[in-house]
Amino acid sequence: MREGSNPSMQALLGEALKETSDLAMKEIALFRTEMSDNVRTLFVGLGMIVGGAAFGIAALILLTQSLVKWLATVVHSEALSALIVGVVTALIAAGLALYGRHAMSASSLAPTRTARSLQRDKEVLQERVTG
């Protein structure tokens, strides 16, 4: 009876391996397709951000020029108004740069939650080994 079941068992095992292989190939193909679509969407999004940034810079330049011209009517000097707007703009730029540098410091980039989770896992494992 065992000899009769061996070929069918081998056939079943072979079929299972074939189906597993086919499934893995289909999953890999799906993964590639999905990643390709995601990368395409990412590049379209990046292109839109770059386009938006270009228009934003142009708008900022025009608004700054308008502010200088308006302030010139108030202080009666285009040079003084350009100096005032330039200093205020430089202060804003410096403040943003300093904040950005602080936000990107090495300590803020450290994976603190992961480190805490690993520490907890270590403590739990130690309790199980010793307890």
**Residue 107: what pLDDT?**
64
**Residue 125: what pLDDT?**
77
Q: Determine contact, residues 83/72, Cβ cutoff 8 Å.
A: no
Q: Determine contact, residues 83/74, Cβ cutoff 8 Å.
A: no
Q: Determine contact, residues 81/74, Cβ cutoff 8 Å.
A: yes
Question: For every one of its 131 residues, what pLDDT tens digit does the chain have, with 9 covering 90 and above?
Answer: 445 556 688 888 888 888 888 888 888 888 888 888 888 899 999 999 999 999 999 999 999 999 999 999 999 999 999 999 999 999 999 999 999 888 887 666 667 777 787 788 788 777 777 76
Give Cα 86 distance to the centre of its chain.
Answer: 33
DSSP 80-103: HHHHHHHHHHHHHHHHHHHHHHHH
List the domain boundaries for the chain. 1-76, 78-131
